[in-house]
Amino acid sequence: MLREIPSQTAGPYVHIGLLPSVAGIPFEPERDWARMIRPGVRGERIRIEGVVFDGTGSPVKDAVLEIWQPDASGRFPGRDPGADPAFSGFGRVAADFGTGLFAFETVKPGRVPTAEGRLQAPHATLLIFARGINIHLHTRIYFEDEAAANAEDPVLALIEQACRRETLLARRELREGLPVYRFDVHIQGPNETVFFDV
Amino acid sequence: MENAPRAFRPRDRARHPVAWFPDYKTSVYRSPRLPLVSLSATRSELTAPLFGQDLIRATDNDLLVNGRVDGDPIGPRIILFGKVLDEDGRPVPNVLIELWQANAAGRYRHVNDTYLAPIDPNFWGVGRTLSEPDGSYRFRTIRPGPYPWRNRVNDWRPAHIHISLWGASLCQRLITQIYFEGDPLLPLCPIYNSIPDPAARERLVARLDMSESLPHDTLAWRFDIVLRGARQTYFENRREGA
């Protein structure tokens, strides 16, 4: 049997490969991976934004983040029949070099069953890459206003300490009529985000 | 539409770098302190974005050409090629391979790189491709130079090429670096050495391949990529719901 090749850090210049415009390279200037929706998208349009913090509480300003999520009805674009053609399911953004803020324009995801047929609460998968991160961090964004679904979610239930589940809840606010979910990631510290080994 | 695999073999973290590796100083405050929570993949993890040929333009895998302004980039011309396989040795087609690297002088085309070595105006150092039905892939580029970095007072990165891989499942997502056989900086590099298993480390070293080299033109380096393999099940070939 062959073995998976090992990971290495994406390094500080990850933007050249994944988001060339951010690095200052006109490889594909029209591409905007932050915008996962097109006109006519079904479901609730939302923005997910946040900051990744390191163990000193400082923003990780060189991070690149990726999201993968289903459409508003729980179907994965390109993978599930009937998925919303106006939704990509995939987002990729860079943290702002000045502030560390990242943001995705997306829709509230629908519910997806587990292999056993149990419904999961709405969530998006978030992957984090940066200098100093030797193998990417994998977490999930849940939504604080889905309390009933969250309470029966089989993955949140895997987290032994109930207080740690809170680290996966994005906080909702309305900004000029648009729902904005705030999701900060703490790599270390008292509020260390739950990261998964999948 | 494509069915996603049903399950993957667990990732063997002993073959990956440790997250907290003090010789690589930044990793100390960018590594989780608490254990990862183990999760059996659901459809959220078994699927992945479907990247198609519409994303790929003709010169995307030719770094000798794609950033050209008024001449060829400076440096040794190389072909980087190989196959994408899973752990059972099966070819993995349609893997999005994104690549980035420094130029021959060890300087990146990035707003944040301030190393005194010169920018090459004819070289971007970015490329991408999709693996072929037989898993093969190929890039044409220049061999990148080593460069110093702010870690310990005199740390230098061995020559390397970064690659990002998106397979058919999030379980196969991986970013890593490709090194060059015989580089004396390799044993000195804390990033390379963050992988504790020397045999696993070696898997990141590309080998010179004279059979694919073009006489009087370009040297070839072979690097085979192995992604996680699906666990075998009786129903592997059955359609969803069949």
CB contact under 8 A, B1 and A79: yes
Count of beta carbons in the 10 Å neighbourhood of residue B130 = 19
Answer positive or negative: Cα dihedral of A104, A127, B162, B194.
positive
Chain B residues with CB-CB distance to A6 below 8 A? 15-17, 176, 195, 197, 200-201, 203-204
- A198 close contact with B: CB closer than 8 A: yes
pLDDT, tens digit (0-9, with 9 covering 90-100), for A25-75 = 999 999 999 999 999 999 999 999 999 999 999 999 999 999 999 999 999
Q: Cβ B191–A9 below 8 Å, yes or no?
A: yes
DSSP, collapsed to helix, strand or coil, labels residue B137 as strand
Which of B12, B15, B33, B42 best probes binding to A when mutated, by most A CB atoms within 10 angstroms?
Answer: B42
Contacts of B230 (CB under 8 A, 6+ apart): B5, B6, B7, B8, B9, B86, B88, B236
Q: Is A125 on the interface with B (CB under 8 A)?
A: yes
Closest CA to A63 of A186, A179, A189: A186
Would you write out chain B's pLDDT as a tens digit for each of its 242 residues? 455 567 899 999 999 999 999 999 999 999 999 999 999 999 999 999 999 999 999 999 999 999 999 999 999 999 999 999 999 999 999 999 999 999 999 999 999 999 999 999 999 999 999 999 999 999 999 999 999 999 999 999 999 999 999 999 999 999 999 999 999 999 999 999 999 999 999 999 999 999 999 999 999 999 999 999 988 765 544 444 43
Using a CB-CB distance cutoff of 8 angstroms, which residues of chain A are in contact with residue B13? 135, 197
With CA atoms as reference, the chain B residue closest to A115 would be B42
Residue A160: closest CA among chain B residues belongs to which residue?
Answer: B37
| Yes or no, beta carbons of A8 and B126 under 8 Å apart | no
Q: How confident is the model at residue A182 (pLDDT cuts 50, 70, 90)?
A: very high
Helix (H) or strand (E) holding B177: strand B174-180
Which chain A positions have a beta carbon within 8 Å of B195's beta carbon?
6, 8
A85/B contact by beta carbon, under 8 A: no
- Shortest CA gap A169–chain B (Å): 16
CB pairs under 8 A between A and B: 254
A23 touches chain B (CB under 8 A): yes
Question: pTM of the prediction?
Answer: 0.96
The residues of B that are catalytic are 108, 147, 157, 160, 162
ipTM score = 0.97
For residue B98, give how far its alpha carbon lies from the nearest alpha carbon of chain A (Å).
Answer: 6
For residue A7, the SS3 value is coil
- A-chain residues near B33 (CB < 8 A): 55, 188, 192
The whole-number pLDDT of residue B72 equals: 97
Chain B contact present for A2, CB below 8 A: yes
Q: How many angstroms separate the CA atoms of B177 and B192, rounded?
A: 9
Q: Is A194 on the interface with B (CB under 8 A)?
A: yes
Hey, are the CB atoms on A194 and B37 less than 8 Å from each other? Answer: yes
Burial class (CB in 10 A: 0-12, 13-18, 19+), B46: buried
- Mean predicted confidence (pLDDT) in A177-182: 97
Six-digit token string for A4: 């998976």
Mean pLDDT of A117-137: 97
Residue B120 C-alpha, separation from nearest chain A C-alpha, in angstroms:
13
